[in-house]
Structure 1
Amino acid sequence: MTYQDLGYNDRLEAYRIQQNLDSFETGRVIAEHKERYVVKTCENEFNAELIGNLRFTAENRYDFAAVGDWVAFSEYDEGKALIHAIYPRNSIIERQAVGKSGQIQIIAANIDFGLIVQAVDRDFNLNRLERYLTICNASNVAPVIVLNKIDLISKTELESIKDRIKQRISDILVFTVSHQTAGYKDLESFIKKGNTYCLLGSSGVGKSTLLNNLSGQLQMKTGEISSSVNKGKHTTSHRELIVLNNGGILIDNPGMREVGIADTTSGLETTFETIFEYAQNCRFKDCTHLHEKGCAILKAVENGEIDEDSYSNFLKMEKERMYFESDARDRKKKDKDLGKMIKNVKKQRKNNKY
């Protein structure tokens, strides 16, 4: 295995030289669990953590390592290492942190393609699909739809689902697979050596089974299928990066019950391109697209030119984005005020010594 097999490229090498990181080893984070990391090189894997300076100077979640990151590290004991620097990322898949107002959660870094997995029997949901698309579009990650468990529905039902996707989502690759039937050859041929792919989807949609089939071996345990809900008991509890036999790099994720929209204006514009195009023709520049006379979007919805469900989903996500931005601004202001207060206290203590 070479570093190129892990996704290393000329951009990263130029950064290593520019930042004088020659004295450190270079590796990629392949697993993360509570600020503990597994870093992989061509020959070894290390249990690693951030050096104290990185940890204590971190201003937000972006300053911590994530699965998919390239890092500069040093080994201090057999199989143990300290991370000294995180290389610049070319993409970050993120969402709102669950239960934490105005904060983000990094799902994975340096991703080329997001494989959005939905089970067609019970999990399929176009609104949720648009959420994942928005996250990918905002993250500089190319989205790909994977419809799983197609053996559990009829061919007519499958074609109906594919038609519904085409009506609301355009120019997106769609693959159909099942653990019980053929369908992996097309997906396997799409996955290329050196590219990094991230599995995205709810719990129980078959991501781990998908990973096992693509890798040709048992990488993740999958539970038995529940007869009541037709779902496997999903056991993935952390993110992990795996190099496939064909050279593709795949990151598995725990199922996401909530897919909160963060600051993703660009993502919304890409996912709902048609809606934003109509918005250019609204009478008022500050149109909320809710009730104004002369709103081109409302007119298009009324005329059937914009799908009503897609419009409703857009409004919901736009509202979430606005709330997130507001919460993030408030949080930033509070952190800034706290920083000033701490600085003033330190200054007063210093003055009192003299």
Structure 2
Amino acid sequence: MRHSELNTSQDLEAARVLSIQGFKHLLITGTGNVEAQLAGALINSREPEAYPKVGDWVLVKRYDEEGIIIDVLPRINALSRKAPGTHSTRQVLAANIDAAFIVQGLDRDYNLMRLQRYLQQVVQCNIQPVVILNKADLVPDPETYRQAVQELGYNCPVVLTSALDQALQEEWAGQYLLPRHTYILLGSSGVGKSTLLNSLAGYRLQKEGATSTANSKGKHTTTARHLVLLPNGSMIIDVPGMREFGVTGESGSEGVHHPLIDELAPQCRFGDCTHQHEPGCAVVAAVRNGTLPEPVYRSYLKLMREQYHFQASEADRKRNEKQFTKMAKQVFRHRKDTKY
């Protein structure tokens, strides 16, 4: 289903969010780009995570050269993370994504457990991951890195490339970048995402950051999420480098679902096995006999605890907000009735 094919009323136009700067939303429509702001009724009726995000399809009403966003159309999916900081709030990064390109540099950025964190969240947001191992020209045996990623068990494509090698870029892009599909580019600061994106676009979209000689990390990264139209008709959302990528799971989901764990779980003695201390646990047995890598298992337990804590805290927060709203309404009615 493509939201652009939906019929809209004569006064409303379907549009897609390209970028957001403060209160201004840059949209693309069938007749060109337009800047728009949110309708007051939309702001008051939604939680912040339901506000339009990059990649969302919206209905906009035109007023001369500007527009007002009236509604957000239902999302196919949304990529979220735990918002940075101590509070358990969900931050939606982008919406309506066909696949996520998770980029790691094969220099000082390469980190399997950080990669598993990205993979876990992307998969649980119902998005297909593709791992891009950049700077493959900087290591003597890049194939060993690809094999290590595949052993994480997510059954996703793993691409070895160098953003500076145009032939390698064209090879993997021709296979994984499909017209009329939307992708998102994820990774830490300095992995070469800007160089990759500029290469895919065929021109310089933004200034590429210099690289520090002290730590081989980029000094400058993307500062805002934005959706870019590529020459072959595909679309890609560039995301600033993220120091934190806290897992939340898909909204309403229960538990952490890892392919290797899920494959073993039916063999456990107990149907509600937590795969930690129960007798007859097939997952623990697989770790002991070496068929399930221990680092993968340890990372799974850490992510499971983190996701459980997030969802419990989020439920408490929403419960408290609901109780406060109810109390505020009661106070308002009391003051109105007593004219106080």
TM beyond 0.5: yes
Within 5 Å, which residues of 2 pair with 1:18-33? 21-33=9-21
1:336 to 1:164, Cα distance in 2 relative to 1, 3 A: same
Quote the residue 2:274 is aligned against: 288
Greater mean alpha carbon deviation, residues 22-31 or residues 104-113: 22-31
Residue deviations 1:8-29, cap 9 Å, x none? x555534x44xxx431122110
Quote the residue 1:183 is aligned against: 168
The answer to whether the 8 A contact 2:76-2:96 is kept is yes
Displacement of 1:346 in angstroms is 2.0
Consecutive unaligned residues in structure 1, runs of 5 or more: 1-8
Q: TM-score, normalised by structure 2?
A: 0.93
Query: Size of the alignment, in residue pairs?
Result: 336
Displacement of 1:42 in angstroms is 3.5
1:104 to 1:28, Cα distance in 2 relative to 1, 3 A: same
Aligned counterparts of 2:334 and 2:127: Cα–Cα separation in 1: 48
2:44 to 53, 56, 59: 56
1:67 to 34, 51, 54: 54
Tell me, yes or no, if structure 1 residue 101 matches structure 2 residue 87: yes
Consecutive unaligned residues in structure 2, runs of 5 or more: none
1:100 to 1:68, Cα distance in 2 relative to 1, 3 A: farther
* 3-state DSSP of counterpart to 2:184: strand
Quote the residue 1:247 is aligned against: 233
Displacement of 1:257 in angstroms is 0.7
The answer to whether the 8 A contact 1:211-1:220 is kept is no
1:86 to 1:340, Cα distance in 2 relative to 1, 3 A: same
Displacement of 1:281 in angstroms is 2.8
Over aligned residue pairs, what C-alpha RMSD do you find?
2.0
Aligned counterparts of 1:197 and 1:145: Cα–Cα separation in 2: 12
Q: TM-score, normalised by structure 1?
A: 0.89
Within 5 Å, which residues of 2 pair with 1:141-156? 141-154=127-140, 156=141
Quote the residue 2:302 is aligned against: 316
Residue deviations 1:99-139, cap 9 Å, x none? 15221111110110101111111111111211111222122
1:168 to 146, 152, 177: 152
* 3-state DSSP of counterpart to 2:210: strand
1:85 to 1:248, Cα distance in 2 relative to 1, 3 A: same
Displacement of 1:43 in angstroms is 3.8
The answer to whether the 8 A contact 1:209-1:222 is kept is yes
Greater mean alpha carbon deviation, residues 96-105 or residues 84-93: 96-105
Residue deviations 1:54-74, cap 9 Å, x none? 11222x233201000111112
Residue deviations 1:129-163, cap 9 Å, x none? 11111222122211111111112112x2x011011
* 3-state DSSP of counterpart to 1:322: helix
Displacement of 1:245 in angstroms is 0.8
Displacement of 1:292 in angstroms is 3.1
Q: Which amino acid aligns with 1:40?
A: I
1:212 to 1:62, Cα distance in 2 relative to 1, 3 A: same
Residue deviations 1:319-354, cap 9 Å, x none? 011001110110111011011111111221232249
Greater mean alpha carbon deviation, residues 326-335 or residues 169-178: 169-178
* 3-state DSSP of counterpart to 2:242: coil
Greater mean alpha carbon deviation, residues 191-200 or residues 181-190: 181-190
Greater mean alpha carbon deviation, residues 123-132 or residues 64-73: 123-132
Tell me, yes or no, if structure 1 residue 201 matches structure 2 residue 193: no
